[in-house]
Structure 1
Amino acid sequence: MVSKIIALSQGNREYVTDMRRYFHMHPESSLQEFETCKRIQKELTEMGVPFKVVNDIGVIAEIEGAKPGKTVALRGDIDALEITEKTGVPYASTVPGKMHACGHDAHTAMLLGAAKVLWAMKDEFEGTVRLIFQPAEELIAGAKIMIEAGCLEGVDNIFGIHVASAYKVGQVDCTPGPRMASADMMTITVNGVSGHGARPDQCIDAVVITAAIAMNLQTIVSREYSPLDPTVVTIGQMQAGTRANIIANKGTLELSIRSFSPEIRAGLIESIKRVATGTAQALRGTVEFKLTQGTPPTINHEGPTEIARAAAKEIFGEDCLVEREKQTGSEDFAYYSERIPGAMAFIGSAVPGPYVPHHNELFDIDENALPGGMALYVTYALKALAE
C-alpha cells in the first residue's frame, strides 16, 4: 500500500506545488483566512470530499473508508504573517505586508494533496480520516476554535506536520515526549504611594519595588528548578514612574513564562506570585497579577509517535529520522495532544544555500518536500487506522 501512496503522491506533485504557490501568493492574517478557506472548500468540492466550514476561516473535512472503524485526524494550519516578503520568487506574496513566512501554505497544500490521495484510496481502508484546516495558529487561537467546533469528537488520535528550514528534504524529526514549550504571559502591577521626590520617606516607592521584583524573579529558574528541566521566565517589559521628582505609585512588569511539563508550568506561576508578593511586602507595597494562559507544552505521545516514525521510514528511507533538542517556542497543536493522543513531525524543507529561519522575509521552502509530506500524512492515517 505504501508504494501506491508514494506513486499517487508523486502523481500529484504538480497539483500540490500549484496549490502551495497559490496560497503563498495570497496570504491572509490569523482570523482573516476567508479567501483561503473558500479555496480549500473549492478544492474539496471538486474532489467530492464532504466538509463543514468553521466561522468562515476553518474547514473540517471527512473521508470515510469502506467500513466503519477508528477515526484519525490530520491537521494543517493555514494562516500567514505580517511580514513584507523579499524573496523575489515568481510566486511571491501579492499582498503588501503579508507573507507565508512559516510554511503554512505548504501545510495547507499537503493536506489538500493528502485528501486527493485518501479519496482515491477510500475503498481500501476501514475507518475515517478527518482533515482539519486550522486558522490562527500564529495567534495560538485556531486550535481552540476548531476544538469548540467539534473537530476532535470521536477522534482516536491526531497527527500534524510542520515544514522545517533547519532540515534537508528527506529528513524527519518526530521524537516522543515534550517537543515545544508551554507559553504563558503574566502582568504584575506594583502598588505604592506617591509623593515628592525630596521626601521618599513619606512614600512607598513603586520604582524600587518593581526593580527588586525584577531582580528577585531571576532566582526562580536558577534556584528552584532543575537545570535538567528547561524553563524560561523572561521580563520583556518593565515600567514605573513619570518624572524625576515624583515618587512613583505604580509599576508594571510583563512576563513570558515557558516550560515543558504541566507540573513545572503550574509551579512557575506559584513561584512568581510568591516571590513578587514577598518582595513587595518587604518594601511595604502590594502587587496584583493578571495571568494570560497560552498553549500547554506540545507533547508527542508514544503510540502516535511510533506510527509516525515508522511511516516516515517507509516514505523517506530508514535513515531519515533526525532529532533536535526540544524548542522553547510554542505551537497550538498542543491543545489537540492535550486532549487525545497525538504527534507532530517536522519535515525537512531547507532551500539550498545559507540558512534562513522561519518568520524571516527571505523564508522559502524546497518544494521537493511537498510530495513526501503529502505521503507522510496519508501513510500515518492508514497505519493509525489499522492499529
Structure 2
Amino acid sequence: MDFFKRVSLLLFIVSILFDSTSGSSVLLERAQELEFTDWMIGIRRRLHENPELGYEEFETSKLIRKELDSMGIEYKHPFAVTGIVGFIGTGKAPFVGLRADMDALPIQESVEWEHKSKVPGKMHACGHDAHVTMLLGAAKILQERKSEIQGTVVLIFQPAEEGGGGAKRMIDEGAVQNIDAIFGFHITGAFPVGTVASRPGPIMAGSGFFEAVITGKGGHAAIPQHTIDPIIAASNVVVSLQHLISREADPLDSQVLTVAKFQGGGAFNVIPDSVTIGGTFRAFSKESFMQLRQRIEEVIVRQASVQRCNATVDFLSYTHPFSPPTTNNPFLHTHFQKVASDIVGPANVIEVQPVMGSEDFAFFSDAVPATHYYFVGMRTDSDGHSTSVHSPFFTINEAALSYGAALHASLALNYLSEFGVNLSNTVNVDAAYDEL
C-alpha cells in the first residue's frame, strides 16, 4: 500500500471514530429495567454463593451455558477445561470479542449476608461473579438486537485468571481465532457507580512469580558454628533483592519486587536445613521485566553462596505463567471514550494512571490485533473507603452491573457498525490494523 493510500485509510478510520455512536444510551436504559436488573442480580448471587477456583468452574460453566441456551445463543465448549465461547451475529467477519473471567479465590468470606459463599475457604473476592453476570447481560442485549449486528460478537467466558494462565490456554486452544479486537473489564471500588475508567497505552503491569529454596546445614541453635545457617542467607537475599529496584531500576520506569513468602524452621532452638522464599515482580515493559527476572535469579544464587549455601530458583512458569503488561490500543481507547461518553456522560469517563496490578487479559494482546481493558466503578458515597480486591470483606455494588452490561454490549455493537461495514468489504481488516 503506497503512502497516500495509507494516509487516506488512517484519516478514514479516524473519521469513523469521531462519528456519533448509535444509541448507546438506549442500551443502558434496557439494562436498568427492573426485570433485567433482577435477572442479573439473581445470576450474580447464585455465582457468589458457589465460588469455584481456576479450572474447577464446572458449575459456573454449567450456569453460563444454561443462560446462553435460554437466549438461543450458540457456543462452543469446553475451552481450557471449563471455558465457553459464544457467538452472536452473522457468523462472518469482522469479529469482535468480549471477555469475562470466571474463577474465585481461596479466601474465607468474612462478609455476613444472605448470599455469602457456601463453600468453605473459597470466595468471589475479586468480582469475577460480577464480570460473568455483566457479560451475560451484554449477551442478552446483543441477542435482542441480533439483526443490527454487522459481523460477529464473540463471548469469551474464561477460567483461571487468578494466576492460572487461563487466557493463554484459551488462546492456545483457538478461542480467539479470527477476532479483530477484544474488550475486557473489571469492577472497581476506586470510582463511583456510574463512572468508567481507562487509559491508552499501558494500564496494568506485567507480572511473574518466583520461589527459591536456600539450602544450608541444620543443627542446634546453641552451636551455630557447626551449621550453615540458611535463615541468615535468606535474610541477606531478601535485603539484596530490594536493591534491584532502589539501585538498578530507572526511577522513571516503574517496577516492583516483593518477597511475600518466607518459610523455614519449626522450633526455637533448631537451625533448619533449608528456607523457602517466594514473591512477585512487576514491570510495564517486557525488557524491564526480563531484566528483573534475570537479576532475581543471579542475586538469589550468588548471595546464598556468600553465606556458603546453595540456592535453586523456580519461576513457576507452568502453574503461574508470566503475564505481560496490559496495554490498550489507542484507537480502541478513542472508541471506548466515545461509546462510554454516550452511556454515562463525558464527565464520568475517567482517565486513570497505570497500576502495578496485573491481568492475564494481557495475553490476548499477542493473539488479537487490538485489545482494550477498562474499569467499571461501583463505589457509593456511603462506602467511605473501598475494600480492596482479594479481601475477605470484598463486596459488590450490584447497581454497577447494568453499566458494565450496557457498555460491553455497546462497545461491540458500535465497533462492528463503524468498522465492519466500512472496512470489511473494502479493506483487509488485519492490513488495516497493520497500518495503525
TM-score of the alignment, normalized to the shorter chain, above 0.5: yes
| C-alpha separation in 1, matches of 2:231 and 2:64 | 53
Give the deviation of 1:191 after TM superposition: 4.7
Amino acid at match of 1:10: Q
1:333 aligns with 2:361: yes
CA contact (8 A) 2:198 2:352 kept: no
TM-score by length of 2: 0.79
Amino acid at match of 1:310: K
Map 1:1-387; keep pairs closer than 5 Å. Answer: 1-2=22-23, 3-11=25-33, 12-54=36-78, 57-65=82-90, 68-192=92-216, 200=225, 206-239=230-263, 250-283=274-307, 285-293=309-317, 294-340=322-368, 341-351=370-380, 352-354=382-384, 355-385=386-416, 386-387=418-419
Amino acid at match of 1:384: Y
| C-alpha separation in 1, matches of 2:235 and 2:329 | 41
The SS at the match of 1:368 is helix
CA contact (8 A) 2:231 2:275 kept: yes
Give the deviation of 1:32 after TM superposition: 1.9
Amino acid at match of 2:330: E
Give the deviation of 1:155 after TM superposition: 0.8
Q: Does 223-232 or 178-187 show the bigger shift?
A: 178-187
Amino acid at match of 2:376: I
Give the deviation of 1:153 after TM superposition: 0.8
Q: 1:256 to 1:34 in 2, by over 3 A?
A: same
Q: Does 129-138 or 344-353 show the bigger shift?
A: 344-353
| C-alpha separation in 1, matches of 2:263 and 2:119 | 36
Give the deviation of 1:205 after TM superposition: 5.2
TM-score by length of 1: 0.88
CA contact (8 A) 1:198 1:245 kept: no
Q: 1:344 to 1:284 in 2, by over 3 A?
A: same
Amino acid at match of 1:358: V
| C-alpha separation in 1, matches of 2:115 and 2:216 | 56
Q: Does 284-293 or 125-134 show the bigger shift?
A: 284-293
Give the deviation of 1:206 after TM superposition: 4.2
CA contact (8 A) 1:74 1:130 kept: yes
Amino acid at match of 2:82: I
Q: Which runs of 5+ in 2 are unaligned?
A: 1-21, 420-436
CA contact (8 A) 1:114 1:374 kept: yes
Give the deviation of 1:259 after TM superposition: 1.6
Q: 1:71 to 1:284 in 2, by over 3 A?
A: same
Q: Does 95-104 or 224-233 show the bigger shift?
A: 95-104
Q: Which runs of 5+ in 1 are unaligned?
A: none
| C-alpha separation in 2, matches of 1:142 and 1:157 | 19
CA contact (8 A) 2:97 2:183 kept: yes
CA contact (8 A) 2:209 2:281 kept: yes
Give the deviation of 1:125 after TM superposition: 2.5
CA contact (8 A) 1:210 1:240 kept: no
| C-alpha separation in 1, matches of 2:389 and 2:261 | 24
| C-alpha separation in 2, matches of 1:153 and 1:229 | 34
| C-alpha separation in 1, matches of 2:351 and 2:147 | 36
Identity %, equivalent residues: 37
Q: What are the superposed Cα offsets for residues 256-298 of structure 1, whole Å, 9 maximum, x if unpaired?
A: 2122211111000122233334434555554332222432222
Amino acid at match of 2:400: A
Amino acid at match of 1:6: L
Q: CA RMSD in A?
A: 2.8
The SS at the match of 2:413 is helix
Give the deviation of 1:224 after TM superposition: 0.7
Aligned residues: 385
